Amino acid sequence: MKIDFNFSPNSTLSFHNYIKTDYNNRFNSWKNCYEAFADINQDENVLALHLGFYLASWGMYRGSAAIFQKDYTIHIKAVQIIKDFYDLRCDTILEVTSLDISRIIYLTKALYKHYNSLQYMMKEELVDRKPTDTLISKIIIGTLGCSPAFDRYYNNGVKANGFTFNKMNEKSYKELFQFVEDNKADLIKLQQELYKIDTIHYPLLKVVDMYFWHEGYNL
């Protein structure tokens, strides 16, 4: 059953016009990281540093987060995994579709396996900590752009509009790509308007992420 959905991009556009007034705003960290990964052949340490700083800017190095206990080198293996899935990288030429769901799932599992293999120093003891969907999806959106970031605001925005594509699984991605197909003209228009503001091409799933993030944020 198709949900009666009213696409309203004004909040997203207003927010990006607002943060444009702050040249060094933390939201630029996504752009810096994404543009760095446009050259996947550069030094892995450089890419890992970009990834780590972007994740810090986007709240993934809070004191309660396991990776808070690690330096940037834990992301080198993630960079190597990203290289193996670089065919999923979205740009002006390529946007992922429902045909890529299986490969996106493989990517999420590979990243999960890496971060799950680490032990973290908590209260002077090395312990196991499972990586969250938020961490894995933020890595993917910051490097390849082939998934939204399943964080609190995005998930709340999705739920508030009656959708359920707020999990990192096959069913969720199928509904997500159906949403993209049903709203493609509006998403492309928003994509073009954002380019006028930020002069960077946002992949369609990044546009979806931004739209529902603002929906959740405004709640």
In this prediction, residue 58 carries a pLDDT of 92
All residues at 6 or more sequence positions from 1 whose CB lies less than 8 Å from its CB, including other chains? none
pLDDT of residue 63: 72
What pTM does this model have? 0.94
User: How confident is the model over 21-37, as a mean pLDDT?
Assistant: 91
Strands (E), the chain: 119-122, 125-128
Q: Would you state the pLDDT for residue 49?
A: 97
- Report the length, in residues, of the chain: 219
- Does residue 91 sit in helix, strand or coil? coil
- Chain segment 96-137, per-residue pLDDT in tens: 999 999 999 999 999 999 999 998 887 778 888 899 999 999
DSSP letter for each residue of 156-177? HHHHHTT----SSSHHHHHHHH
Asked whether 101 and 176 are in contact (CB, 8 A), the reply is no
Q: What is the DSSP letter of 127?
A: E
pLDDT tens across 170-186, in order? 999 999 999 999 999 99
CB 145 within 8 A of CB 203: yes
Residue ranges per structural domain of the chain: 16-218
pLDDT score of 43: 97
Q: Average pLDDT of the chain?
A: 93
Residue 116: count of CB within 10 angstroms of its CB: 13
Measured distance CA(96)–CA(86) in Å, rounded: 12
Residue 2 has pLDDT above 70, yes or no: no
